[in-house]
Structure 1
């Protein structure tokens, strides 16, 4: 199952009770988050999982369609346990897949580790654009400006500042690169008309808005 197949699967089967959505699968699969390539990728009818080994501990992330039967869930869990007998996997609690992992001997480590939020698009507030600022497509802004807008907005030091954390001055830069952006543009879910950049009065990039 290649990246576009995984994106298509998530797009067809996503519900608000699942952590992965098409956008973050496209982002991660294109290398935009800077994560290392998985050591193994498992997949089956209606699911896939990526596996990273780190000594005796293993990290697993995946997507499991809500329509999987109990037998299909058990098969997926069996294959994951065979590849990763010790480790962790991110799941939304209270879902059939989480229950199947518990039945197989998994237990919760506490948490929460991930806050899933969503909202309807029917009553979004109108936010006026500040004088002198403009919104253009990434194509109009140029690839370099699009990448720089993201790197500025998501710089680790800036995120720490927003969270009220101590800034040491040794924070790395953003993992987002021009090569990663070009890979992202090649996925089936990428919609250039929705990939927008806010430009400051001097024409410099400020922030990017939406990709897929």
Structure 2
């Protein structure tokens, strides 16, 4: 599969790139700092550009089968702007499969007390931006998947990435490794059970 990765120089994005290459996918990464992805073996094309720029994203989406976004931002409207760019790119390129990493903090009606406090106070601007971006994606008519990952940690793969029931309470102490998140995002590309679904994942 030909996959465009947005956020490919981030902590989780680099793992998505590496795992996709190891699995034999052809990968294009749209990044601001191409040198951060140098030296990797496999079918990797690194393109310099902005994930919030509709022209850059549209060009990068040309010829790919799917998009995985691991973009993250704590301030501003980066996620909303990037989603608008993805939707504009989809209209031009015809790409329909979009997998997006988001945060469990967006799902406020399912949060435990401490997690709810984090969402409402400590990270309110980030949550508003992610929520607005998700609404755009839900209304797009594309074949999207949103992964609401619990708190991310570093470490080796455990193989325990689990899709939680829609009724599950999401807790601040729950964690999942970035390595497992990357594997879940890649597996979701072909998993039609995740199409047009927001899925909470934990380790």
Output the TM-score relative to the length of structure 2.
Answer: 0.29
Which structure has the larger Rg?
Answer: 1
Structure holding more strand per residue: 2
Output the TM-score relative to the length of structure 1.
Answer: 0.29
